[in-house]
Structure 1
Amino acid sequence: MSDKLVPAQPADVMVIRDLTPNVTTLSLPFSRFGRIEIGGRCTLVRMTGGGVLVYSPVALTPDAAAVVERLGGEAGVRYLVAPDIEHHIFLSEWLKAYPTARLIAPKGLAEKRAATRGKDPRINVSDKFYAVLADKRVQPMREPQSIAPDFDADFGLVYFDMHPNKEVVLLYKPENVLIEADLMFNLPAIEQYQRVDPATRHGMPGHANLINRLFQTIMRTEGNLVWARRFQWYIASKSDRARFNEGLQVVDSWPFETIIPCHGETIETDAKKVFRRVFAWHFANIK
């Protein structure tokens, strides 16, 4: 059940940060299996034509709703983006609050949600999807899947359907901000645990559990990245490495200056350099 995956009182631990006047992040603690601290982050973006895009929704607290009102005004939420088939448990909560929002998701998510058969009260299997991204297109990755004129005007989109989690990566064009979920982590999740009592944490220095330490070693962007690169090479891209590389080339062609990941720290310095370091093995094998 999703209740085991979210904080009991999300409003008490949510960290809200205005990254730019048009981009705000909502960060929360999140751990896999109760031991691996990866954090969670939602990104809200003010669209140039009005309204807000919400990427990877987290709990809709009163403070989160206030951010929507500040950024989107009366237009509210224009788009809800499920960034992959794992980040989706709060979609219904947001759709209930903003029923005119358009839901964008990877192929397979609707079926995954339907399979819960109402067992999870957070998931409304009747939620309507506005755009479902297509798998295994014959078109080159550089030809994006169009969503709608207002969306296409503000965002670039690359859909890594070959990734195990089926990743939807966005570029907010007006401010050159890359927004992604599980394509690339940047652990440890410092900001996302900022308001958590250290005594309740498993991953604090001095008494971090072994699994947590190992995972943070793999999912980082600093130091020796051999394990991060092995993960990307042998796990993330193994199903279709050539097409994965093609997607990376498209992302690399974007003029992003900031990377907002769902897990770990936002990268505001040398973002393109960090991206290329993590995927160095892939770029070295692109012909």
Structure 2
Amino acid sequence: MASNARKLIPSDPEKVMVIRSVTPDIKTFSTPFLRFGRIAIGGRGTAVRLQSGNTAVFSPVALTPTVKEEMRALGPAKYLVALDAEHHIFLEEWHKAYPDAKVVGPETLPGLRDKQGYGKIAQDKWVLLKAKDADAKKLTVDAEFDADFDLEYVHGHGNKEVVVNHRKSGTLIEADLLFNLPATEQMSKSGLSPTGGLLTRLFVWLNNPRGEALSQRRLIWYGIAQDKKSFNPAVARIASWNFDRIIPCHGDVIETGGKKIFEKVMEWHIQAARKST
């Protein structure tokens, strides 16, 4: 782990992590996280057991003793997925524990990790998702992974988002594409308020999907979607998937009604994609 990344994580993740079985095949590992050391947005890793009995882990968090026990019960990690250019801090730790696992992420991630001082992961372990394949609708990890998940690479997003849908449970798993703040569950063991402080309250206002969600819509349209030509059709493809639940990395899990919320927040992009076809 890069030295500067240590400042971003709790000193004792074991004490403050909330572990929950969302379905018999899905576990979430929710932790406190302060963006810039001040803004409470939380963090979350998600593990999903595949039909094969192996497990895919998305945005891995600290591999604590309890997390290891939960993984033994769920199944061996076959895929370690960095859902974007930010959610990769613990990849090296997990890959040491599961050296045969494939490491999935955006094509820009290995170079970014090198610049930030993270330990190297062998080149033959990477499955890198490429913009050209996303645009051509030819994204794939392998047959085992593809059998369980819809997959999209939103490279028009500033953080290069990887988004999946677990088809069996209708669960969308994503990192920074959509927030559902405040991070109530994630901050619940930290002793810190998920809405305390001016900066956190401002961030919650900007990044929640309630009501018309105009603040989050505008933030994404005018700021986050850096390349709408690729962003819009990617989001429209995600909206075509069959899902009801959303597990975000930041904020509470949306247990039901997730597709309607996604369509609401991304409405302008979906409409723009339809007009361009």
Pick the TM interval, shorter chain. Answer: over 0.9
1:114 aligns with 2:110: no
1:125 aligns with 2:112: no
Distance 1:55 1:204 in 2: 23
Q: Deviations over 1:22-41 (max 9, x none)?
A: 00000000011111111000
Alignment correspondent of 1:228: 216
- TM-superposed CA distance for 1:154, in Å, is 0.7
- TM-superposed CA distance for 1:204, in Å, is 5.4
- TM-superposed CA distance for 1:116, in Å, is 3.2
SS in 2 for 1:174: coil
SS in 1 for 2:250: coil
1:133-212 to structure 2, matched below 5 A, reads 133-137=129-133, 139-140=135-136, 143-197=137-191, 201=192, 203=193, 208-212=196-200
1:248-259 to structure 2, matched below 5 A, reads 248-259=235-246
User: TM-score under structure 1 normalisation?
Assistant: 0.90
Alignment correspondent of 1:81: 81
- TM-superposed CA distance for 1:144, in Å, is 3.9
1:84-99 to structure 2, matched below 5 A, reads 84-99=84-99
Letter in 1 for 2:236: Q
Do 2:56 and 2:79's aligned partners in 1 also have CA atoms closer than 8 Å?
A: yes
Alignment correspondent of 1:120: none
1:20-39 to structure 2, matched below 5 A, reads 20-39=23-42
- TM-superposed CA distance for 1:244, in Å, is 1.3
Contiguous gaps of at least 5 residues in structure 2? none
Distance 1:126 1:139 in 2: 27
- TM-superposed CA distance for 1:138, in Å, is 7.7
Contiguous gaps of at least 5 residues in structure 1? 118-122
Alignment correspondent of 2:13: 10
Q: Deviations over 1:163-211 (max 9, x none)?
A: 10000000111111100000000000000011112xxx3x455xx3221
- TM-superposed CA distance for 1:238, in Å, is 3.2
